[in-house]
Amino acid sequence: MKVKEGYIMKKLGTGYVVVTVGQASKDFNGMIRLNPAGAYLWQSVLDGADTKEKLVQAMLTRYDDLDEETARKDLDEFLDTVALALEE
C-alpha cells in the first residue's frame, strides 16, 4: 500500500489532518483527522511500510505496552479511516 498522490498530512494544533491538494481535491473535498498514533502510521506508510504486517511491527516497536491483537485491531480502524487516501 502507499499514499495516493495529492494527499498530505499536516499538523493542526495538537492533532493531525490529511488534506488533498491538486487533482486529488476533485475526488475528495474534506479532511481526515488523525491522532498521534494515526499520524505515526501515516508516516510509516510514507516511509515504506507497505503491508499490514510491516505496520503492525512498526506499532509494536513504537509502543512498548501494545499487544499484537490490539495493534491489529487499531490498524484495521486506521486503514478504514484513511482507505480513500491509500492504494494497494
How many other CB atoms sit within 10 Å of the CB of residue 17? 16
Measuring CA to CA, how many Å separate 30 from each of 6, 7, 83, 85? 13, 11, 14, 12
pLDDT of amino acid 72: 98
56: number of Cβ within 10 Å: 17
* Domains contained in the chain, CATH given: 2-87 (1.10.10)
For the stretch 19-41, pLDDT in tens is 999 999 998 989 999 999 999 99
Task: State the residue for C-alpha cell 505515526.
Answer: 40
DSSP one-letter code for 30 = S
Chain Cα centroid distance, residue 25 = 18
Q: pLDDT exceeding 90 applies to what percent of the chain?
A: 93
Predicted model pTM = 0.93
**Cβ pair 7, 81 in contact under 8 A:** no
